Structure 1
Amino acid sequence: MIQTRNYVTVDFQGKEIPSGHLRPFNLTANDGDIHQYATDCIIAHWHQEMEVFISTRGQVRIGIEDQEYLVREGEGCFINSDILHSFTPVDASPCTYHSFVFDTGIVGGAPGSVFDTSCVRPLLESGIPYLQFTPCKEDAPFYDNFSLAFEACRNENPGYEFDVRTALSKILLFLNQKISPVSGAKASSIQEQHMKQMLLFIDRHLSESFGVAELAGSVNICERECQRIFQRYLHYRPMEYVRRKRIYTSAAKLLSCDSLVTDVAFEYGFASPSHYTKQFRELMGMTPTEYRRLNLSAIQLPG
């Protein structure tokens, strides 16, 4: 089944929480427009699953750890397990995509199996966080097998899971050929670990008042180092990221419950409803009430 999502649910560490229906075939196929997300982007997050992605319309900047990559219409990419990543449209035009987020066990099977050691383990241990593809003859195996897997998920004929597994296996084999003879285990940097831990602190304390000093102290670093890490990985000052996180999270809450705007404002750490409304309008272009009315009306429209 193909999903059209407009949110990414993450836990306290910024790790994506998969939808319940992913078990026991732990894969999700997405067909969406990044502009449909409340944040107008897919915020920085990570997951243990691997991801393959194709931009079907428009251009998107993909943040990978502390780097940014431009993916043009028709181009695709691979994102390895446990990599902090984000997706941001380049402009206001439609930014649609297809993607798979899948557990490596779908391809690898039991740890130590020939499938695990030939397809999955080399990628996990290669040190490569990201690989990009263009629609050319050289990268045809990636596109051909992606298309086969996507159509299998769309049609869901009996036994389609085997077709998906075969196609994803061929994609991973192709990836291994692309990166060979690159070797060396991926070493997560101390700064990357600090980044994930600070995201954990932010989510745990989103409704509380805190500053850069408390945020830096949560991982025993100085404020200046905290500033450097946020700029490197998220390209925002720490408290600007916190402000955006509060607004974006509250926007999703407005559409998922009937709580008063006042209650939502206090729940996400704003001093007053008026302050919340001002901050919300600056970032979202409308008041919380207008946002709720507009989006709930759109959701209720037929078709």
Structure 2
Amino acid sequence: MQIKNFKIDQNLKELTPHRTVVLPIACYETTINQNIHGYIPLHWHDEIQFVLMVKGESVFQVNEERIVVKEGDGLFINSGCLHKAEEVNQPGSMYICLNVSPHFVLSPELYTTYVYPYVQATNLPCIYLDHHVTWAKNSLEAITQIHQLIHQKPSFYEITITMKMTSIWKNLILNGFQLEHEQTEVVKSLRMKQMLNWIHEHYGEKVKLDDIAKAGQLSRSECCRYFKKILKKSPVNYVTEYRIQQSLILLQQEDSNVTEVAYQVGFNSTSYFIDTFRKSMKMTPLTYKRKAAKI
């Protein structure tokens, strides 16, 4: 299954159900440029995520860190961490994405000791899985096997998946990860999500820097520093990009027109919307709408 349009709420939390019929787990192939945005937009979810790059390479941003994941390698992304993905050079980059509820990793009796401290750690937003390293290679092979099991559904495949998830998790926690819980990091993450939440609720209105900063309980300058450090862009640029993202969804509706969409997503000028859209998507809104209608 390829998720082509991420459903995200105002907090950037992904709304896509991450489970099979019987297990709180989902595993599917993702071709980045087939997403509605042309990339995987910024989002987060409660599930932990494992990525295995099967074609090309991609740059993942996890919280403040940017990591290029090469073909054959992978990435562990912790619960609750903001992340996005874009192609690097080669079009058609594809990865296997394994999303798992932390509560599924181990039994309730072991969860408190061997899972909860790790998903709550502030120093473990992600871990690179290099296939040249034995323990990481074993984990990446297990991800491939889980992907096959979910699609082929042989006898007792649910038990086999459970065993392989235990093996993957044991590999992670046995390889020297020092846990940290810094309250300042927890507060920083919360404030960033509060500011993004405010933008996603009010992007169709006139957005002021003062209002964004207020949502995060920060000064204007500190608000700008948060965005620059974590998202590598200014609050204004983020608002503009988010408006363009939302316009893609509206433009796919048969009865929509460019002018109405421009004002719905917060632009006060159709010409400025068209110009901004062209710079972002390398085509006009009308061209995009016509292409979307043919898919």
Counterpart pick for 2:203 among 195, 201, 206: 206
Q: Kindly provide the CA deviation profile for residues 222-261 of structure 1, in whole angstroms up to 9, marking residues without a partner as x.
A: 1111111101111111111110101012112322554233
1:195 alignment counterpart: 192
In the alignment, structure 1 residue 249 sits paired with structure 2 residue 213: no
Mapped to 2, the partners of 1:94 and 1:286 lie a distance apart of: 19
TM-score by length of 1: 0.88
User: Counterpart of 1:131 in structure 2: which amino acid?
Assistant: I
Q: Is the 8 A contact 2:28 2:97 kept in 1?
A: yes
In the alignment, structure 1 residue 296 sits paired with structure 2 residue 293: yes
Q: Kindly provide the CA deviation profile for residues 118-142 of structure 1, in whole angstroms up to 9, marking residues without a partner as x.
A: 6423422444121111112512321
1:79 alignment counterpart: 77
Give 1:85 deviation, angstroms: 1.3
Give 1:158 deviation, angstroms: 4.7
Distance of aligned partners of 1:290 and 1:173 in 2 relative to their CA distance in 1, 3 Å threshold: same
Alignment of 1:1-303 (within 5 A): 3-19=1-17, 25-110=23-108, 113-114=109-110, 116-117=111-112, 119-126=114-121, 127-138=123-134, 139-180=136-177, 182-185=178-181, 187=183, 188-255=185-252, 258-297=255-294, 299=295
Give 1:72 deviation, angstroms: 1.0
Distance of aligned partners of 1:186 and 1:155 in 2 relative to their CA distance in 1, 3 Å threshold: farther
Choose 286-295 or 252-261, whichever is displaced more.
Answer: 252-261
Gapped regions of structure 2 (runs ≥ 5): none
Give 1:214 deviation, angstroms: 1.8
Q: Is the 8 A contact 1:125 1:186 kept in 2?
A: no
CA-atom RMSD, angstroms? 2.1
Mapped to 1, the partners of 2:34 and 2:141 lie a distance apart of: 27
User: Counterpart of 1:130 in structure 2: which amino acid?
Assistant: C
User: Counterpart of 1:260 in structure 2: which amino acid?
Assistant: N
Mapped to 2, the partners of 1:83 and 1:109 lie a distance apart of: 23
Between Structure 1 and Structure 2, how many residues are aligned? 292
Mapped to 2, the partners of 1:84 and 1:277 lie a distance apart of: 29
Q: Kindly provide the CA deviation profile for residues 5-32 of structure 1, in whole angstroms up to 9, marking residues without a partner as x.
A: 2222211111111238756532221212
Among the aligned pairs, what percent are the same residue? Answer: 25
Mapped to 2, the partners of 1:150 and 1:233 lie a distance apart of: 32
TM-score by length of 2: 0.91
Mapped to 2, the partners of 1:156 and 1:100 lie a distance apart of: 16
Q: Is the 8 A contact 2:18 2:25 kept in 1?
A: no
